[in-house]
Amino acid sequence: MALKGNLADFSTTQILNLINLAKKTGTLRLYEPVVTKETITDGTGKKRPKIIPGAERASIAFREGRLIWATMGDQDGHLASVLHKAGKLNAEQTRVIRERGAKYSDKALALMLINANYVTKADIVRSIRQYTLDIVYDVMSWKEEPFVFEEGVVPPPERITVPIDLKNVIIEGTRRIRELQPLEEELPNLDMALKFPDTPGDKFRGIHLSVDEWRVVSFINPKNSIRQIAKACNMTDTEIRRVVYGLLQAGLVELTKPPTMQQAAKAQTRAQKLRRQPVERSLVERLIARIKEV
């Protein structure tokens, strides 16, 4: 089963969150959106044009939930080009290396460049990391590209891959979101509270949060609504939504009902139970026995 869809329905941030939480290995491919005359209906029954995949625009590879490599459709991702983009090689050096080193794999070429004192190992790792991140942040702004995630497909071994924690990528990508709609859809109710996951483990290790994000984290408590946290941090609704959305997508916090809402829910539960028919255990057991027979 392949994960297929369209970014209009399931955003890049959500895909990265899924890959991170499910610790997936594989390659995400994104395609040029080609609008057809056919229509599809969404879950509410509304019609919209069917979009099918055109030429490949980008591919992003992951291993066990970590970002390892990315390339744009119109680029070959050759090591010399990556180093040129990072300013480690000039245009002439890049041309010569590409001509003479065409038969070498990225790994072999990297060794030759290091031995020839053109670059250091750290230069190569840093350049590939930045190249990969630039592509992913670009992709995070796309809105209607068809995508498919190919499970188990990873770059060939001769490619140099650099593992990058997705949580930081998600948070940084969220900081760059300009549109408010996805934030409001994902986080419609600011009266909800936040809590840390039951098994936080080492989720916060290596996370790079801004001062504002750390301030929000310092107020996380099931007793504090998001609205109260925003007030304490002197943030607008949009600002708090952006921070909380990033923390949620990175799996660092979870939504929960604050005590005031829980009390209201309990009162509602009591009212609802009054309206519900009294149900005995034996009745449910009779239903189970009957359905087993059907």
Binding site for other proteins (CB under 8 A): 1-6, 8-10, 14, 17-18, 21-22, 38-47, 185, 265, 268-269, 272, 275-277, 279, 281, 283-288, 290-292, 294
Helical residues (DSSP H) of 87-225, grouped into ranges: 91-100, 106-115, 121-139, 166-175, 181-186, 211-218
By C-beta, is 45 or 156 nearer to other proteins?
45
By C-beta, is 11 or 127 nearer to other proteins?
11
Q: Is residue 66 within 8 Å of residue 107, measured between CB atoms?
A: no
Question: Least distance (Å) from other proteins to the CB of residue 176?
Answer: 22
By C-beta, is 5 or 73 nearer to other proteins?
5
Q: Is residue 232 within 8 Å of residue 294, measured between CB atoms?
A: no
Nearest-angstrom CA–CA distance, 191 and 228: 8
Question: Least distance (Å) from other proteins to the CB of residue 192?
Answer: 11
Nearest-angstrom CA–CA distance, 139 and 125: 21
By C-beta, is 76 or 285 nearer to other proteins?
285
Question: Least distance (Å) from other proteins to the CB of residue 175?
Answer: 21
CB atoms within 10 A of CB 105: 15
Question: Least distance (Å) from other proteins to the CB of residue 155?
Answer: 23
Question: Least distance (Å) from other proteins to the CB of residue 268?
Answer: 7
Question: Least distance (Å) from other proteins to the CB of residue 222?
Answer: 15
Nearest-angstrom CA–CA distance, 140 and 166: 13
Strands 3-6 and 193-195: what pairing?
unpaired
Nearest-angstrom CA–CA distance, 241 and 237: 6
- Angle CA(67)–CA(68)–CA(71) in degrees, nearest 5? 100
By C-beta, is 4 or 208 nearer to other proteins?
4
| Residue 289 CB partners (closer than 8 Å, separation 6+) | none
Nearest-angstrom CA–CA distance, 94 and 213: 41
Question: Least distance (Å) from other proteins to the CB of residue 286?
Answer: 5
By C-beta, is 8 or 112 nearer to other proteins?
8
- Angle CA(202)–CA(255)–CA(145) in degrees, nearest 5? 85
By C-beta, is 47 or 103 nearer to other proteins?
47
